[in-house]
Chains A and B, each alone.
Chain A
Amino acid sequence: MNAFDWAFALEILPRLLDAALTTILIAVSGFGIAVVLGLFLALGRRSRHRWLAWPTGALVEFIRSTPLLIQLYVVFYVLPNYGLSLTALQAGILGIALHYACYTAEVYRAGLDAVPRAQWEAVTALNLAPLAAYRDVILPQALRPILPALGNYLISILKDTPVLSAITVVEIMQRAKNIGSETFRYLEPITMVGLFFLILSLGLAWLVRRLENRLETAR
């Protein structure tokens, strides 16, 4: 009973892989949105205009200080009361993207703060408008050192995707639990899910480290 049943594992593999695609979809699209949104949150927070900087800062701190699970509940179960109905998958992607945007915003902020003040002075002396200043001068310098940190958030998002099962998204972990309750065998599906996360996380971590090394040597 307790031995790993290879035949059973092979039998459930297609169902697990199918759900794995959902997990990867959530992680990649959630990360994609978080990376873009986080940049805007960081820029908003740095704005000279208080009416923009203050609410942005408050939002970022609020989201960073509350659990992802609660935010997912709000997006999926509460927002429909205000007219925004999303599928579970959409709500899950939106929730995880918003959550992690607030973390990537802090990474961007660190990167932006690390650009020397002298660069801003050169930008002012050349009369560059804020858009061109950020796009051509400040961001390229701010981004390079933080790319690895951003990459690490892709790994974090991946490992947080099982939380979405709480709002009925059938990602790989939920599929494993379903298989378990249908067949009363948990050993194989849970082990396989663990391996799935392990392999993907290690692979991504390796890519991030390679990126880090390339940035080092390119200096």
Chain B
Amino acid sequence: MTTLSTHTATPADTPQDAPMVAFRGVTKRYGELTVLDHLDLQVAEGEKVAIIGPSGSGKSTLLRVLMTLETIDDGVIEVDGQPLTHMPDANGSLVPASARYQRGVRGMVGMVFQSFNLFPHMTVRQNVTEAPIRVLGLRKAEARQRAEELLAMVGLEDKLEHYPAQLSGGQQQRVAIARALAMRPKVMLFDEVTSALDPELCGEVLNVIRRLGDAHNLTMLMVTHQMGFAREFADRVCFFNEGQIHEQGTPDELFGNPQRERTQAFLSAVNEAH
């Protein structure tokens, strides 16, 4: 098994205990509908946070605004102390971020999607080397070596020249994880990455994520419906309801002894369904 450093050391001017990800009063609306409602959330470096909650409560939206796939209407998001949607101007006040500035901050974040979203016209190898070459400016040989290491880590070293359509869903999702990791993000976002998979293929993907958690000092935010995995893997579980964090705590606290009625109702409904 190859060991991989996922990111460079924290810059000296960042305080050790500053959060890696911070949402401060973040609001997101679609027309009349408020999907994130003055949301506050801080995630420490290396912390694994599982996000659970009913459908439509804004879990995906939380990850999507952090990936800049959606804009926010109010509040500030910071990654490693740097605002994501705004940048400081010459006087130090915040102005809307330029595309260039945003690309700089966004580079610290990677995301894996429910539907994999691999590039169908590229081989597995090309999928993983494309962005490191084009964005990080790696030489082809370097990018290939990085791809080979990562694909070995996800157990797909023999599929380098395959196209996504020739792989199972679980294999595609593992390629997608390798592709995101090849950019050496500090923060990884997983949005229901096993929901599109047959149950017997979930395990192989969860195993890869588990290994990531062990091997790397990677900050992870994971939306999941798999309570068992959240309980075993996460340092903290956030229960989402109506665009807010309704309750949060360690897995043992939240699953073992939920305090609020809404949380209890959700967890018992989930338990019954299984």
Q: Are B134 and A119 in contact (CB under 8 A)?
A: no
Q: Does B266 contact A (CB under 8 A)?
A: no
Measured as residues with beta carbon below 8 angstroms from the partner, the interface class of chain A is 10 to 19
CA distance in complex: A124, B113 (Å): 12
* A136: chain B residues within 8 A (beta carbon): 130, 134
Q: Does A126 contact B (CB under 8 A)?
A: yes
CA distance in complex: A118, B115 (Å): 8
Q: Does B46 contact A (CB under 8 A)?
A: no
Q: Does A10 contact B (CB under 8 A)?
A: no
Chain B count of residues within 8 A CB distance of the other chain: 23
* Chain B interface helix/strand/loop/mixed: loop
Chain B 109-138 interface 0/1 with A at a Cβ cutoff of 8 Å (1 = within): 111010101111100000000110011000
Using a CB-CB cutoff of 8 Å, which residues 128-170 of chain A contact chain B? Answer: 128-129, 132, 136-137, 140-141, 144
Nearest neighbor of A144 in chain B, beta-carbon distance: B121
Q: Does A127 contact B (CB under 8 A)?
A: yes
Nearest neighbor of A137 in chain B, beta-carbon distance: B119
* B110: chain A residues within 8 A (beta carbon): 125-126
Q: Does A182 contact B (CB under 8 A)?
A: no
Q: Are A126 and B68 in contact (CB under 8 A)?
A: no
Nearest neighbor of A131 in chain B, beta-carbon distance: B134
Q: Does B180 contact A (CB under 8 A)?
A: yes
Pick from A118, A132, A144: contact of B117, CB under 8 Å: A118
Q: Are A122 and B113 in contact (CB under 8 A)?
A: yes
* B179: chain A residues within 8 A (beta carbon): 126
Q: Does A216 contact B (CB under 8 A)?
A: no
CA distance in complex: A141, B122 (Å): 10
Using a CB-CB cutoff of 8 Å, which residues 83-97 of chain B contact chain A? Answer: none
* A119: chain B residues within 8 A (beta carbon): 117, 119
* A124: chain B residues within 8 A (beta carbon): 67-69, 106
* B residues neighboring A (CB under 8 Å): 67-69, 103, 106-107, 109-111, 113, 115, 117-121, 130-131, 134-135, 179-180, 183
* A residues neighboring B (CB under 8 Å): 118-119, 121-122, 124-129, 132, 136-137, 140-141, 144
Known: A118-B113, A126-B135, A132-B134. 8 other contacts (CB 8 A): A118-B115, A118-B117, A125-B111, A127-B103, A127-B107, A128-B134, A132-B135, A137-B119
